Amino acid sequence: MKLEQNDTPMLFSNTELPDIFFTEYLSQTNGDYIKVYLYMIFLSKYGKDIKINDLSKKLELDFKVIQDAVKYWEELGVITKKNMGYVINNLQEIELHKLYKPKVSLSAETLKQTAQNQYRAKAIENINNEFFQGIMSPSWYSDIDLWFKKYGFDEQVMIALFRYCFNRSALHRNYIQAVADAWHKNHIQTFDDLDRYYEKQEKLNTLYKAICKKLGYTRQLTQYEQAYVEKWSIDYSFPFDIIEIALKKTTSKTNPNFDYLDKLLTDWHDRGFKTSAEIQTFLLQLKQKKKDIKELEKKTGYQNYEQRKYDNLDSLYANFNL
């Protein structure tokens, strides 16, 4: 294939990599793909003709990697396929086309939003200075504007979103988008909403650790186990002392899994129990009922299996350490 650089106007002429490559592409791209792209730029300066096989040998990369890299850059519009090879497009021009919007007359609604837009511009400026050292890629501005509209975050929440990802060394779009989706699903829009969410998460994390300690787990709970705990704590509003009763009462079980714990706690929730005292009273009554049935069977020598299946509790409380 033959490689050549696309003719560009003097305004965009550049014999070196433009800064936009480092801010927009570098952190998002596989290292081998970058290696291929850089070498293609080098060859294109001299109008060299080269085959993918030659690239594979020269760069010591598998043929498939070269193919995937070429496809990757082509899909991004960084290179364009032609009859005899590829054109290396100008990255600055690509970004300009992304950002360019024709000017239109300001509507009354737009004028009303001027103050809000100024406040948002200040928030974006803070994001640029705090997390990008003042050199944030232009495409981030469009992304942030989109997230404001999509999620309804206020300016403080947007800054907190970037700070959260920055502190986890994950300041890239996919991660930020995932966190934003999670916050949106938890109905976060204002900083007060975020405060309540953090408080809820802190309580859940404390509960996760307490349950792991009681069960003797040296690992963290899985995502599915955490979902059970969230259900007991948030949906059922059960404090830890109620959950602890279920944990204690499973000591006779060989493998007390979370599915079994959930059945116990759901049974107590369905019965309308709100306190540990109510549950302890119920368990004492259940224990006495079982004792009475056994004594009756012993005296009469007759086992009334239908009677023993009271409230369908046999399977749930079988071998239960009452």
pLDDT in tens, 60-105: 888 888 888 888 888 888 888 877 777 888 777 777 666 555 444 4
Average pLDDT over residues 147-163: 93
Average pLDDT over residues 132-156: 89
Q: Based on the domain organization, do 81 and 117 belong to the same domain?
A: no
pLDDT of residue 318: 61
Residue 307 half-sphere exposure, CB side, CA atoms within 13 Å?
Answer: 10
**For residue 296, pLDDT beyond 80:** no
Virtual CA dihedral for 244, 245, 251, 253, nearest 10 degrees?
A: -110
**Is 176 part of a structural domain of the chain?**
yes
Provide the domain limits for residue 11: 2-97
Q: Please name the residues in contact with 48: beta carbons below 8 A apart, sequence gap of 6 or more.
A: 2, 3
Q: Based on the domain organization, do 8 and 93 belong to the same domain?
A: yes
pLDDT of residue 105: 46
Q: Based on the domain organization, do 185 and 130 belong to the same domain?
A: yes
Which phi and psi (to 5°) does residue 257 adopt?
-80, 170
pTM above 0.75, yes or no: no
Q: Based on the domain organization, do 163 and 79 belong to the same domain?
A: no
Q: Based on the domain organization, do 262 and 310 belong to the same domain?
A: yes
Q: Based on the domain organization, do 91 and 126 belong to the same domain?
A: no
**Is 195 part of a structural domain of the chain?**
no
pLDDT of residue 86: 79
pLDDT of residue 245: 92
For residue 113, name the pLDDT band (cuts at 50, 70, 90). Answer: low
Q: Based on the domain organization, do 313 and 230 belong to the same domain?
A: yes
For residue 10, name the pLDDT band (cuts at 50, 70, 90). Answer: very low
Domain boundary among 97, 130, 163: 97
**Is 136 part of a structural domain of the chain?**
yes
Q: Based on the domain organization, do 135 and 66 belong to the same domain?
A: no
**Residue percentage of the chain with pLDDT more than 70:** 79
Q: With contact defined as beta carbons under 8 Å apart, do 145 and 113 qualify?
A: no
Q: How many domains does the chain have?
A: 3
Lowest mean pLDDT among 59-63, 146-150, 198-202, 279-283: 59-63
Q: Based on the domain organization, do 8 and 41 belong to the same domain?
A: yes
Q: Based on the domain organization, do 85 and 31 belong to the same domain?
A: yes
Average pLDDT over residues 13-33: 75
Domain boundary among 174, 189, 204: 189
Domain boundary among 169, 189, 209: 189
**Residue percentage of the chain with pLDDT more than 90:** 34
